[in-house]
Amino acid sequence: MSIVLNAFRLKVPDLYLEARQVSYDQETLEGLRTKHGTTHAFRRQGESILVFSPDGNFPVSGAKQTIGLKDNFGIFCFLVKDGLTRHLAGLGRRPVGFTPIELVSAKPEDNLLVPILGEAYPFQVCAKYAIHTRYVQGHPSLVIDCTTRRVLKETCLFFLRAGFDLNGRYVAIEEEDGYRKFLGSVSAQKGDTLYVTRPDGQTEQVEAKDIYLEASRTNFDDYVSHTHGAQKDAIVERIRQSVSSFNGGENKKTRIDTLKRYVQSKSIPLIDGTRIEIEDAPDIQRHCDQMPKPVFVFNDNGEADWVEKGLTQYGPYTKRTFDRNDPSICVICAQHDKGRVEQFVRKLLKGISSSKYFSSGLEGKFTLGTSRVEVFATATDSVEAYKNAIEAAIRKKAEDGGRWDLALVQVRQSFKKLKVTENPYYLGKSLFFLHQVPVQDFTIELLAQSDYSLGYSLNNMALACYAKMGGVPWLLKSSPTLSHELVIGIGSANIGQERGADKQRIMGITTVFSGDGSYIVSNTSKAVVPEAYCEALTAVLGETIEKIQKRMNWQKGDTIRLIFHAQVKKFNKEEIGAVRAVIDKYREYQVEYAFLKISEDHGLHMFDTAPAREKKGRLAPHRGKTFKLSNHEMLVYLIGQRELRQDTDGHPRGVILDVHKDSTFKDIKYLSAQLYSFASHSWRSYFPNPMPVTISYSDLIARNLGWMNQLPGWNDSIMIGKIGQSQWFL
């Protein structure tokens, strides 16, 4: 048994290179690379540019520098990637990018669509390799990854000839290095000429033969529908299974090892001619740890490490204090689907007798009593019809002197393509939220599932419904520390119907805190544009501390620990400054903080031979497996071999936790264990989450509020009421 990474230690030569140093500015760097990039290497180093030569001749004069590679790992890693890029370009392979270097295979046998759609099909799904460098326990290493990329080989002219409608579709133009740059969307066509609207709103005429469709999932699915009609869904599913199998652990490792052996066998040089050498991946099993399962707290402080078992044995945490028993529930659905929707709602409430985990339904599993349900039908699928039905439901309950405890709103998958102002999904949320009514949507397509599959879907849906109504299904038990602890999650979402100018990034903020040894998701949530983010973070943090210090009776001199989780490239000075500004207000406490960057886009994989004989997830590590990359970085698997659903599922991705150097609390093992527990704490699903709730909840907050802010008349202050104190965003 062994565990290896796809990281191969580089042998650092005992070598000194001569370089020239000139002042940095972006224009100078780009100019040097354009003019001399084929013969020399140029690296930005702070406010300088280092110039490296193959023969001692330099295109610029500057301060002479002598650089020892053993003392400058960053420069050495740069020169390794520079050497690999030159080697691949010399083979005519056109690598793209540098961090990482990406290479798409041109071999027909590496196109996964050939057995399904044939070699002549304009779209391809090809093997893609990514090569990068990183430090692993202090050693420079070459990281090699292999996955797939959707590729388009034909120009827009091909699709015009094929009778495929290009109007409204995004297009790109190919630059000299092979990179395809976003151009805009097609607004009209005349013969072989396309009119393309750019992000700035300007329209230009372009010949169809000179531009390409974006190789997006939407364009791909629509073209398969165009060529294969009713067979489209079956073909797309075959492709999904093929891609997942390709990304399985065995195939991934085999291909990575093949490229690794290629690098080892070739004399690929650095710019001065010194050969790049890499070692085989060492067995890291004895350096890996396995985290214990998190423990959850239920009714009457019952504990279990499996939430299904805990709910069945003890009931939900708020079983005795839940204030919406015998709930009033309204159902909004299309008139022509009313009968099927009624059957579906009954299964949600009463359960499916043959289901393993959902035989007692929402009412039985969460001890809600008997629901009072009323159905309000829409005449059509229009926004106006939904508005009329929702207003009728709200008016009816107001006349009865009460308020709905939950609204179930039936929508359609096709609504996703509609603009926000024309989408019943967002209209339903906004109208019900205005009256403090939580909403659970479901698609009409869900009703087509078999009772076996539907049982799992309804189990998750019932969990979210209970939390949205203000219930607490369970808490996450923590080991009490000497410190009072707040964990702040920072997420984001890109909001906008159109690519380019109309797109805006929204930041979401949520809070998790530990009071009596159990982690509770706070009702403090906010979504803002990035420009207002630091101000909002300061306000949310201040409000949360004020609320919790009273609730938990903090005393002068107590230690307060603030832990920030974010999926950002890096924490900037403004964020850290915003937190310090809040801390300065609480000098009576001992305040420490940690900024934790969480990344899943890093290309590093762990391959474990222990499950090599398993039917699914061969070479996948178990959930909770960790490996310490450095004093401030940890690789953690939040999803493992047992969490994969089927044998065609790909290799699970771990996340890398990176503690910022300015943090005053840096216990990487403690922070990793805490984050691992939060990945089990979602009330959106019973399955472990590939991201902790601190991130996933914040992303949901940002996405929901970001879209609803585009509705006329919507105001975030609506969320200040009781609805905002529930997990409305699930």
Domain 475-718 has CATH 3.30.420.10: yes
Distances (CA, A) of 679 to 119, 468, 543, 686: 42, 19, 25, 11
Q: What's the one-letter identity of residue 249? A: G
**Nearest alpha carbon to residue 675 among 691, 698, 687:** 691
What is the reported pLDDT for 576?
80
Asked if 543 contacts 524 with a C-beta cutoff of 8 angstroms, the reply is yes
Calpha distance 103→253 (Å, rounded): 17
Calpha distance 26→424 (Å, rounded): 47
Q: Residue 490 pairs with which residues in a beta bridge?
A: 509, 566
Calpha distance 171→182 (Å, rounded): 6
pLDDT higher at 416 or 121: 121
The pLDDT-based confidence of 706 (bands split at 50, 70, 90) is confident
pLDDT tens string 352-388? 999 999 999 999 999 999 999 999 999 999 999 999 9
Asked if 435 contacts 394 with a C-beta cutoff of 8 angstroms, the reply is yes
Asked if 563 contacts 487 with a C-beta cutoff of 8 angstroms, the reply is yes
For residues 240-250, give the mean pLDDT: 92
Inform me whether the pLDDT recorded for 695 exceeds 70: yes
Q: Which fold has domain 318-468?
A: Rossmann fold (3.40.50)
For residues 638-656, give the mean pLDDT: 85
The pLDDT-based confidence of 649 (bands split at 50, 70, 90) is confident
What is the reported pLDDT for 516?
56
Kindly report the average pLDDT of the chain as a whole number.
90
Inform me whether the pLDDT recorded for 124 exceeds 90: yes
For residues 86-96, give the mean pLDDT: 91
What is the reported pLDDT for 645?
76
pLDDT tens string 6-49? 999 999 999 999 999 999 999 999 999 999 999 999 999 999 99
For the chain, the domains span 3-150+241-265, 318-468, 475-718
pLDDT higher at 415 or 478: 415
Distances (CA, A) of 722 to 438, 470, 636: 10, 9, 36
Calpha distance 368→375 (Å, rounded): 20
The pLDDT-based confidence of 459 (bands split at 50, 70, 90) is very high
Inform me whether the pLDDT recorded for 595 exceeds 60: yes
Asked if 536 contacts 526 with a C-beta cutoff of 8 angstroms, the reply is yes
The pLDDT-based confidence of 423 (bands split at 50, 70, 90) is very high
Inform me whether the pLDDT recorded for 497 exceeds 60: no
For residues 652-660, give the mean pLDDT: 94
Inform me whether the pLDDT recorded for 407 exceeds 70: yes
Instruction: Determine the 3-state secondary structure of 149 from DSSP.
Output: strand
Joined tokens for residue 329? 């529930």
Q: Which of 56-60, 74-78, 666-670, 708-712 has the lowest mean pLDDT?
A: 708-712
318-468 shares its CATH topology with 475-718: no
Q: What spatial distance separates the first Cα and last Cα of the chain, rounded to whole Å?
A: 41
What is the reported pLDDT for 458?
96
Joined tokens for residue 683? 């009330």
Inform me whether the pLDDT recorded for 466 exceeds 80: yes
What is the reported pLDDT for 524?
58
